[in-house]
Chain A
Amino acid sequence: METQTHKAHRPAQSGSKAEKKGKGKQKTGFNEKAFAPKSGRRADRQARRNVERDQARLHVPLINRTPDDNPPPVIVAIVGPPGVGKTTLLKSLVRRYSKQTLSETKGPITVVAGKKRRLTFIECNNDLNSMVDIGKVADLVLLMIDGSYGFEMESFEFLNILQAHGFPKVIGVLTHLDLVKKQATLKATKKLLKKRFWNEIYQGAKLFYLSGVLNGRYPDTEILNLSRFISVMKFRPLIFRNCHPYLLADRIEDLTPREEIRKSKGRCDRTVTLYGYLRGTNLRQSTKVHIPGVGDMNIKTVAMLGDPCPLPDADSEKRRKLSEKKKLLVHAPMSDVGGVMYDKDAVWINVPGSFTRGVTDVPQGEGEQMVIDLQDVNETLEDTVARSKIRLFGSSSHPLTIDARRDDEESSDLADESDSEGNSEFDEEEEGFSEDEQDDAESDEEDEQPCRDPINGNAGRYAVRTTVRPTYGLSSKEKDTGDVAFADSDSELGLSDDEGNGEGGQVMYADNEKGIPSDDERDVDDEDEDEDDAPAWKSGLAAKASAAFEALNRQRRRKDWIAMIYSSSLSPEQVINGTDTTAVESDVIDDDFFRVDSSTSMNEDNLDMTKEVQSSSALRELEDEDVLDSLRTLFITGDHDTSGGADQEMNIHEDSEPGDLTKLEAGEAQFASAEFEGIDTETRALVEGYRPGTYVRIELASVPCEFIEHFDPHYPIIIGGLLPAEERMGYLQVRIKRHRWFARTLKTNDPLIFSLGWRRFQSVPIYSLDDHSIRMRMLKYTPEHMHCFASFYGPVALPNTGFCAFNALSGETAAFRVSATGVVLNIDRSTKIVKKLKLTGVPFKIFKNTAFIRDMFSSPLEVAKFEGASIRTVSGIRGQVKKALNKPEGAFRATFEDKVLMSDIVFLRAWYSIQPRKFYNPVTSLLLSNKSHWSGMRLTGQIRREEGLKTPLAVNSAYKPIERPARRFNALKVPKKLQSALPYASKPKLMKPQGKRTYMQTRAVVLEPEEKKAIALLQQIRALRKDQVARRRGKQQERKETHRKKVEKDEAKKAEKEREKKKEYMKAAGMKSKREADIEEGRSSKRRKT
């Protein structure tokens, strides 16, 4: 039989059959019957469940105040325990967006991610303070978890912090998965971690897996996927952030005059500018701000700057993809991007290529040579200034003598005027420092030109760039030391630097002003227009109304109300009556005497009254029939000259009135921007403040010098705007619950560190519970598993603001540090917490139901205060305080419902009101050199422990055996005569045991011989039995012994195995820590390289 080859079946790809097939499949995919409810009850339940689910999905609509056209960059925080790969991820992401490899990542890094999205990446270090601050501003958190190790305590703490301050979006990132060798283990680990992560965030939260590190980065495809997720992420507005302006500073500058710093040896308060994108709501200049870790500040000035990292604009919008050039934008002033780094007091340009010594392949011209030789300068500026001899040219023999200061001032001009002169032959040894600095900057700039262009292209940055300070192309370590030396000694240099700064600012302002038509100009324009227009509409209206009214109108029309009200010194009356400015001036010129006089005379009739005195002429005008007729149009019965019609208008009004919530969510910001379209930028900033999304420079005066001195770019600087209410202090009542993972209970009057609003502060709470709605009763400790109230003194926060609390912020404890979470309920200037107070006394004289009590009060006055108060004895007899007695001081008469005993203790239950201590201690962590070691108020016990002191023990507090003499009651004696007269039942009975021995007890017993025999036999039998039992026991002992030996052997074997296992684990852990150390080292070695 031949094997027949069959043609393989090929299902039809097209045609009716294929269509049918497809349809059929779809049909089988969803079987309607399968999901139909089987019974009415079930259908009902299903429907109910669906409705409930829908309801749960609904949320209160929040107005999104982020502008749609130019939103601020999304803050993406990278959080995780040390060594988990945060920096690597940050570098990979920045590389993905900007095609640049950062050598160092410090501070926020802003990149353009898409047509409408910019991202600010910030790495969060392992300090709890940083985690708290980051949690308050981050829009998206990349929570990194070491897959080979699992969750660490910090991650959980961070999640709890997030929960307290409005939960931003969280994406989990699992790293170090390449360390898990076995595939099965990997799968199990992933599953386990995912489950835990979902428990913490929500079911289905996104968790990414990053496999391994390639070239110091994560694999490009995985990063690409992650970046795609980030770019489509949608954000729900968070309430707190939606009603506060805030800013994550990405650059900081110290503007304090160097001379002042020198004079005060660096101890003076500083003037600091902070730069960043505004977020949240509009920022007004009058807003007070809080910088977490520093304190409350007043804004000195706010200036809008050019966007250093702008979104792609209209022309690139047409293209579907971002051009490569746009992609390169990265703004990271604190890291060195493209060799430019912004420090607190300088801008560093790192140029590894051309001016590095020992690079022979770069052709070295005269200029380059000169710059390289500059690195050999080993004298400070002070020395050169002291000598102050400058030869203009290398060849010139006579040194010039120039005033060094003037030189500094003019240096910039000089350089500007003649480039060639600047670049020409200076003697490297003796030239003025500022010149060469300028020169260096110049040449740097030239050199930088091609590579900078993509980085920026706007005036703001250019202007700043003029303040450039040289880095001498040395390795970073040397550069650092150089920095220190300069910062310490060269006050002169600082000065010139500052001047440069100021100039930079000026350039910027000039630019701004060019862009904005100035107020004056506008006014003039306005007036001109009016003048031009006037004849035209005057002639048009002349026919209608009287010329006088016209003139009045015109005058009114011309009024620039904003200017007159807000920026003139005219009195309100003058504003209204339209006094000409000239007239006012003449008024001012007039003697002061007269002005005072007039004002006082005005005072007399000018009461503070709401009703205005109607001028009789205005009212008389209304007697005229024509005037009355002209008013007809204002009534619905009058003729409608406008086609609009009142009804229609009313509809519009009603439309907007109930507040269509979806509409609200859509675009309130657009509405706002349209409203103020016409007015110039300055007034606009005055009216609406600075809008979120703008890049601003905020100048703060009198900032503590430690903020600058101990500045560390690894710690985030947040400027949080405060609402007017939040500037005040008061007593806050909060609902609080001890965190269930926090090991100890919390005690009243123990200091607690709160993170509330923008602030972190230490305060002393008193815990309380509502006692049957009658009183707030103090609790000594927080209850277990239950909310309670806490009251403490501190800065006011809006009710419903969440907070979390810590006992200590330092990272030394291994335990969970979030000690409590809660929400603000109430703000007040006083609290109503009471604690129970029992006053005790003893009776010293007892009448029927009356007794005299002493030892409860110390004076009749006190008694008078408590007259009528209810008292009670320990045995439960209730009574009342009546009146004070004369004799023993503080004794009183009291009545009871029954006769009390002399041995009774009488007590009065009173409620003593307590106030929380007025203690508020802001956590000023950013002012410390060691930022993670802030220590606030400590507990007495803690201090004693740290100081090695013993707890003093009062003699009276020592426990001694208490001697309580037994109470002796006299026996009841009933006289014999009476006894005999009593009935039997009432007669005292003899209840004592019999004392005499009875006959049965006293008689002797003698045994018979048979009995003796029997007893002897029994004894023998017992002895035998005893022996038998003893032998059996011995044998059992032996058996047990052998068994024990066997078990011991097994145990030893098991222990051996266990030890092996432990050894293996420790080996892995050791390798991990070594790897971390390697990473650390790798970082520093990299730094050294650049």
Chain B
Amino acid sequence: MRTGSLVNFSGHQYLRQRLVLSIISGKHVRIEKIRSEDKNPGLRDYEVSLLRLLEKVTNGTVIEISVTGTAVLLKPGVVFGGPVTHDCPLSRSIGYFLEPLIMIAPFSKKPFQLTLRGITTDDSDLSADLIRTVTLPHLQLFGISDGLELRIKKRGAPPEGGGEVQFICPVVKEVKTLNFVEPGRIKRIRGIAHSVRVNPQFSNRMIEASRSVLNRFIPDIYLYSDVYKGDESGKSPGYALSLLAESTTSAIHCSEAVSKPGETPEDIALLATRALLSEIRHGGCVDRKHQSLVLLMMVLGSEDIGRCRMGEPSVRTIQFLRDIKIFFGTVFNIAPADQSDPSNVELLYSCLGTGYVNVNRTLA
């Protein structure tokens, strides 16, 4: 009987999704050869920090890291939730830690009240703004909505950070089956141009530049200028523009660009705007950055057919699909969304949900 179902992986890539799948499926996972060929072998500080965080939000989790740090064994426990505070290292932004936790948060015993401190916006991971405005609405597709919230208490730009967010997530019994095949047309564009410890005019300049491109498409554009001051603005200067486009069927596409040394706010704004248009051009009902989240929730849905129309899978998504097959045995049927129109590159992902029920939830 033993929970001997051990899954083995090698390589440091896709660590987060594998840990998440392990915790959700309950299968033990061993990841080996983590940067074993590297000059600086083993886990990075942010990866260790993520493991610590996962240990904090669960009960009975056993994490064994080898002496060299090139191998990790995770025996997942019960997702517990509740109030947890975690200081994220400055090598990665809060998004790095929040993305996997968003996947497991709905399946905890107690509602999540997670406070994370660190960098709120950076180049590699979803910023707190995008998580709040895009990721959380994606969860709402699956019936995870009441009390779902991300509060940005303080902003923190790299390299010093100093931001703080609070993530509150309700507990669900099971997620709804998704049937999202109509991408619709873009009906509104929203955006947040935020700046900390720089001239507040910067955000207005970004808005201006972005509007110069977007105004031709649609009148319903609101780009908010969000300036944090004083204690709430973190320790380093920075600014960014995050954009999202919502369609008539409430499909959301998003993009973001973060300040870089030597680039004007206008450059940043144009970068974000073009990225948004490219994202829109990609089509589908789900943003490319949220493919894996949506696919995971589809797998965890009830034992009916879940369908979603998306663009081509990203690299991460492909590996995610493979990992899902290993952990859950679920295989997606991926077919062209529109058989009649050959120019359409959108794909229809459908799968039979595993009927995942949140076992951690208490009845009493």
Contacts and interface: CB of A to CB of B under 8 A. Distances in A.
A825 B363 contact: yes
Given A623-B274, A686-B331, A724-B354, A825 B59 contact: no
A610 B125 contact: yes
A608 B14 contact: yes
A628 B277 contact: yes
Interface in A240-285: 243, 281-282, 284-285
A541 to B, nearest CB: 7
Interface in A661-689: 668, 671-672, 675-676, 678-679, 683, 686-689
Interface string A507-547: 00000000000000000000000000100010001000100
6 contacts: A607-B124, A631-B277, A636-B187, A687-B331, A825-B363, A830-B59
A609 B176 contact: no
Interface stretch (A358-366, A725-733, A1004-1012): A725-733
A-B pairs, top 3 by smallest CB distance, nearest first, are: A829-B60, A286-B329, A609-B124
**Interface of chain A, main secondary structure:** mixed
B356 to A, nearest CB: 7
B363 A565 contact: no
Given A618-B278, A638-B185, A646-B248, A723 B355 contact: yes
Given A554-B342, A603-B12, 15 more contacts: A282-B303, A286-B328, A296-B1, A553-B343, A561-B313, A619-B274, A628-B277, A650-B249, A653-B180, A672-B352, A723-B356, A728-B26, A823-B363, A827-B359, A830-B60
A561 B310 CA distance: 13
Contacts of A418: none
Interface residues of B, number: 95
A608 B218 CA distance: 35
Contacts of B283: 634
Contacts of A562: 331-334
A5 interface: no
A634 B281 contact: yes
B14 to A, nearest CB: 7
Interface string B220-258: 000000000000000000000000000111000000100
Contacts of A614: 271, 274-275, 278
Contacts of A686: 331
A609 B359 contact: no
A598 to B, nearest CB: 12
Interface of B: 1-3, 5, 12-16, 25-27, 35, 37-38, 59-60, 77-78, 95-96, 99, 109, 123-126, 176, 179-180, 182, 184-187, 213, 216-219, 247-249, 256, 271, 274-275, 277-278, 280-281, 283, 288-289, 302-305, 307, 312-316, 318-319, 321-322, 325, 328-336, 342-343, 345, 347, 350-352, 354-357, 359-364
A729 B78 contact: no
Interface majority SS (helix, strand, loop, mixed), chain B: loop
A828 B333 contact: no
A922 B333 CA distance: 38
A609 B314 CA distance: 12
B315 A573 contact: yes
B38 A678 contact: no
A600 B332 CA distance: 31
A612 interface: yes
A630 to B, nearest CB: 9
A614 B273 CA distance: 12
Pick the most buried of A285, A556, A614: most chain B CB atoms within 10 A of its CB: A614
A541 B305 CA distance: 35
Contacts of A668: 304
A298 to B, nearest CB: 9
B285 to A, nearest CB: 10
Nearest to A611: B124
Nearest to A691: B352
A600 B38 contact: yes
Contacts of A626: none
B352 A553 contact: no
B180 to A, nearest CB: 8
A561 B347 contact: yes
A826 B364 contact: yes
B248 A733 contact: no
A650 B37 contact: no
A610 B59 contact: no
A285 B331 CA distance: 11
A541 B329 contact: no
B347 to A, nearest CB: 7
A710 interface: no
A572 B248 contact: no
A614 B276 CA distance: 11
A687 B333 contact: yes
A129 B5 CA distance: 29
A799 interface: yes
B356 A724 contact: yes
